Amino acid sequence: MVGKEGRVTLEPVTRREFLAQTAAGVVLGVAAVGALNSKPAAAAGTTAVPGDGPGNRATAIKGWPANNDWENKIRRQEEDLKRALAKPIEQRQWGMVIDLRRCVGCKACTVACKAENHLPPGVVYRPVMEEERGVYPQVQRQFLPRPCMHCAKPACTAVCPVKATYKRADGIVAIDYNRCIGCRYCIAACPYGARSFDAGRFYTQETPRLEPYETEPAPEYGRQWPRQKGRSPIGNARKCTFCLHRLRAGQLPVCVTTCLGGATCFGDLNDPQSLVREWLAGEGRMRLKEELGTEPQVYYLT
């Protein structure tokens, strides 16, 4: 359903309904994230074969949803992206859907995001939370990737004393590094633990030579941010941008294109033709900490 402000509104799945839909399994997000039930990600005891594409794995593992045309789905999302970018900014609302049944916990998304955004030690935009469930021999490991939720009603923006963090017309919650004073109020306010502080560390700082890749400029927000002491983003709060710099270039977020399980879908929630809307039309849709009223624009399928 499209609301009067052009934002897609989806019936929230209450905790009670969610628990009723699922038989077992609890996935924990960050410490702040409430308990979430989900269907088994894959049948216990099954193993993905290295080098096997998502399609082949989908048919090989019992209980895994069919996903045998992920390459086509990437192309479709790229078409969705083009259509969205052709519209005025206020007419598109970026959103992400993560299918927890497809996530294999490989953390390719986490690593790709670190590389794409040149993230230093202590800064992770997309961790994959995991939890082991059950008692031997009936044990399962469950995974929950957690980017910034890009909330429609973000808790982080209101507390910023210098208005450095704000919500864009297309739904992305952004940080103006030039305004940010590093007070970390936003980090404390985010109920999803999605923000981190850039303390200016380097992976190779204790070694004889700082590796050159560590000082390469970060491309966030369509600018080059050289990594030098006393200059942003060192000393700033940092978070997932939905890869805004890639979107501007007509590319999908890197966590989408690198996801081994084909578990992450991205697009314009205002576009009824988009793959994100198609994924959201099914059963088992949920958002983290729905009860806070932050209205995350990242949805999970369980």
- Select 200 or 261, whichever has its Cβ closest to ligand SF4: 261
Q: Which two tokens stand for residue 39?
A: 């269907």
Closer to ligand SF4 by Cβ: residue 2 or 82: 82
Stretch near ligand SF4 under the rule CB under 6 A, chosen from 4-12, 21-29, 68-76, 250-258: 250-258
* Site track 134-163 with ligand SF4 (rule: CB under 6 A), x = hit: ---------x-x-x----------------
Residue 255 is a binding residue for ligand SF4 (CB under 6 A): yes
Q: Which residue has the tokens 């988009």?
A: 274
Q: Choose which of 58, 61, 259, 269 interacts with ligand SF4 (CB under 6 A).
A: 259
Q: Taking CB under 6 A as the rule, does residue 105 contact ligand SF4? A: yes
- Residue 126 touching ligand SF4 (CB under 6 A): yes
- Pick the binder of ligand SF4 from 27, 61, 103, 288 (CB under 6 A): 103
Q: Using CA atoms, how far apart are residues 205 and 246, in angstroms rounded to an integer? A: 29
First to last CA, the chain: 21
Stretch that binds ligand SF4, among 11-19, 153-161, 176-184, 238-246 (CB under 6 A): 238-246
253 touching ligand SF4, by CB under 6 A: yes
Examine residue 81 and tell whether it contacts ligand SF4 (CB under 6 A).
no
Based on the shown chain and the rule CB under 6 A, indicate whether residue 104 belongs to the binding site for ligand SF4: yes
Measured from the Cβ of residue 181, the count of other Cβ atoms closer than 10 Å reads 13
Residue 125 interacting with ligand SF4 (CB under 6 A): yes
Told to check if 113 binds ligand SF4 by CB under 6 A, we report: yes
Q: In whole angstroms, how close is the CB of 243 to ligand SF4 at the nearest point?
A: 3
Q: Is 280 in the site for ligand SF4 (CB under 6 A)?
A: no
List contacts with ligand SF4 (CB under 6 A): 103-109, 113, 116-117, 125-126, 128, 143, 145, 147, 240-243, 253-255, 259-261, 263-264
